[in-house]
Amino acid sequence: MPCEVWRTLLEECYEAETAYTLYLAKSCGLVGAGFDQAIQRAEEARRTSQVCEKALLRHEHMHDCISKSEWAKPS
């Protein structure tokens, strides 16, 4: 299995992506200032998810915990 740090980073990615989807969906039913705010929140969540993804990739590269893991091998 990948390490705890990797799992935490993945969770953060997932949360940010979920928030992005939610705010986008919310913006569809809004107009005016409410719409602007929802779009702004979606944009922030998208940026957060990008930062998390980069951190995740960097961790995989530095720590090499994915290739070392046994989870892909048949037991």
Instruction: List contacts with Zn ion (CB under 5 A).
Output: 3, 6, 63, 65
Q: Is the Cβ–Cβ distance between 5 and 63 less than 8 Å?
A: yes
- Residue 4 CB, nearest distance to Zn ion (Å)? 8
Nearer to Zn ion, 41 or 63 (CB): 63
Burial of 73 (0-12, 13-18, 19+ CB in 10 A): exposed
Say how far apart CA 75 and CA 65 lie, in whole Å.
Answer: 19
Nearer to Zn ion, 29 or 70 (CB): 70
- Residue 20 CB, nearest distance to Zn ion (Å)? 25
